[in-house]
Amino acid sequence: MAAASESPFDQYKHVTTTMFLEPILNTHYKIYQTVITFSDFPDGPIRPMVKPINTRKLSPFQSLPVSAIFSDTCTKVLCRYPGFSGSRNPNYYMGGEDIPAVFSYLSANGYTIDSDLTKMMNKSRVTIGGQSFRGGDKRMICMITYSA
């Protein structure tokens, strides 16, 4: 069988990335945290601060949807300290209160916060966010694009 050809969408995979706010269970502290996550690893200078983590279900009574079984189930979380592996620190992950600082960082480092696209997707019937594959309320913050 011949190898599958490359999708024409592959070249745009990391160009526009969606930022979310979603709950995770910090198993070290046994607390729930609402953290900033990304749909994919973004291009540009923020990329080293986005770490993949395997998170547990928020409730033992919850089952994973079929889509989570066949997809990448790592949560891509924005970390406060680049190059520091201190996930046991409860302030290691960026949360909702950090959104203004994250927006300032993005604007100062070559990113465009696409407010028109974000508004359009928020008004559409297409669900961007919704329920996280680990459970909980996953809310879209914005869509960003990196311009080198």
Please classify residue 22 by burial: count the beta carbons closer than 10 Å to its beta carbon, then call 0-12 exposed, 13-18 middle and 19+ buried: buried
Q: Look at residue 103 and tell me whether its pLDDT is greater than 90.
A: yes
The pTM for the full model equals: 0.76
Q: Which of 147, 137, 138, 81 lies closest to 113 in space, CA to CA?
A: 147
SS (H, E, C) 117-131: HHHHHHHCCCCCEEE
Please tell me what DSSP assigns to residue 92: S
Q: What are phi and psi of 103, to 5 degrees?
A: -60, -40
pLDDT in tens, 68-97: 444 556 889 999 987 666 656 768 899 999
pLDDT in tens, 127-146: 565 544 455 578 889 999 99
